[in-house]
């Protein structure tokens, strides 16, 4: 069984933070940061909610438990030539206006916890995030009971940086807030065996030559994390046939599962990409999920003259 290549995991546009935090080095080496200006002489404090620079929203999928859990909501990053030379204390405050704007723009109805009838939570350290000396990242954290989020309403936390206690640091003008939805893990979330399959690439309508190593048939690729982004949606990062890296140009690829079980015992699947509206199912080819074997069959395409196609299967291995 192949291990997950974490470089590809962090490329998922709907990246979900686990209750156990990501390692600091993933931020410090620029793998995960929204803005990475290491090597430049500046001291900028910013949020880094997702791996892409054009989004400050993520869906944090959790498992139900009646125990109090600590959840890392928003990573806070020091963008500088070197790690922090001292403890840096960054204060966050609620940003309900940012959540209102997000709901309006995306036609969602996320509710900010904190009022009557919403899940109870406690901000760790009162909302003051410490970027420790020798590191480049800290986390805005909450303590809460995840079972309280498994209801009819959807909840999201919106917070922004209000101040930095120590002098000499600048708050980012673009990446100074984050919105994190706490949602239940769906029934399809997990780590999947990736393969067998085939990638095809075309240039000006003609198939690329065999020297194009990104295409071709494959037996298996690095195990694929499928990450909850909705009750019947999963974030998915396709990989090139030579296993060299995640496919670019289709950021935010996601799988939508039809909850209706067909006569053959399978559920239909629709492929799409937030970053590339041309991505779609290949007409007439199987796109479905078999709940008996926990296996996806996927066949999708994107582009026009320089078209690309991927046909593969994903078989469930273990929880994520």
CATH superfamily of 6-184: hypothetical protein (bacova_03559) (2.60.40.1740)
Q: What does the pLDDT read at residue 58?
A: 85
Between CA 12 and CA 246 the distance in angstroms is: 9
Mean pLDDT split into 10-residue runs, the chain, 320 residues: 44 34 38 42 84 69 91 93 95 96 88 91 97 96 93 91 96 93 91 98 94 96 91 92 93 93 98 93 97 98 94 95
Q: Report the pLDDT value the prediction gives residue 76, as an integer from 0 to 100.
A: 94
Best CA proximity match to 94, nearest among 77, 61, 118: 118
CB 128 within 8 A of CB 81: no
User: Residue 31's pLDDT is what?
Assistant: 34
User: What are the backbone dihedrals phi and psi of residue 97, each rounded to the nearest 5 degrees, phi first?
Assistant: -65, -35
Per-residue pLDDT, 32: 36
CATH class of 190-318: mainly beta
Structural domain spans, the chain: 6-184, 190-318
**CATH topology identical between 6-184 and 190-318:** no
Check residue 51 and give its pLDDT.
Answer: 52
Q: pTM higher than 0.85 for the full model?
A: no
DSSP 50-110: SSSTT--EEEEEE---SSEEEEEEEEEEEESSSS-SS-EEEEEEE-HHHHHHHHHHHT---
Is there a contact between 272 and 262 (Cβ–Cβ < 8 Å)?
no
Q: How many helices (H) and strands (E) does the chain have?
A: 3, 21
What per-residue confidence (pLDDT) applies to 30? 37
């Amino acid at each position: 069984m192949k291990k997950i290549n974490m470089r590809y995991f962090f490329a998922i546009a709907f990246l979900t933070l686990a209750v156990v935090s990501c390692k600091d080095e993933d931020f410090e080496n620029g793998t995960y940061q929204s803005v990475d200006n290491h090597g430049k002489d500046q001291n900028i404090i910013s949020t880094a909610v997702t791996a892409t620079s054009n989004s400050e929203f993520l869906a944090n999928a959790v498992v139900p438990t009646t125990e109090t859990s600590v959840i890392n909501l928003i990573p806070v990053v020091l963008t500088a030539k070197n790690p922090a030379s001292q403890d840096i204390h960054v204060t966050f405050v609620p940003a309900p206006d940012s959540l209102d704007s997000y709901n309006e723009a995306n036609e969602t109805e996320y509710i900010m916890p904190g009022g009557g009838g919403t899940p109870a939570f406690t901000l760790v350290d009162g909302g003051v995030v410490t970027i420790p000396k020798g590191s480049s990242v800290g986390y805005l954290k909450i303590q809460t009971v995840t079972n309280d989020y498994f209801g009819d309403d959807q909840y999201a936390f919106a917070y922004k940086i209000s101040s930095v206690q120590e002098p000499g640091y600048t708050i980012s003008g673009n990446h100074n807030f984050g919105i994190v939805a706490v949602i239940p893990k769906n029934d399809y979330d997990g780590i999947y065996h990736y393969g067998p399959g085939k990638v095809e690439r075309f240039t000006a309508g003609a198939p690329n030559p065999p020297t194009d190593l990104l295409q071709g048939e494959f037996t298996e690729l690095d195990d694929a994390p499928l990450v909850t982004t909705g009750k019947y949606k999963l974030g998915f990062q396709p990989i090139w046939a030579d296993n060299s890296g995640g496919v670019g140009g289709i950021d935010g690829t996601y799988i939508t599962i039809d909850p209706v079980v067909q006569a053959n015992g399978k559920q239909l699947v629709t492929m799409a990409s937030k970053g590339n509206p041309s991505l779609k199912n290949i007409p007439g080819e199987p796109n479905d999920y078999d709940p008996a074997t926990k296996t996806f069959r996927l066949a999708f395409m994107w582009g026009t003259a320089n078209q690309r196609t991927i046909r593969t299967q994903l078989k469930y291995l273990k929880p994520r």
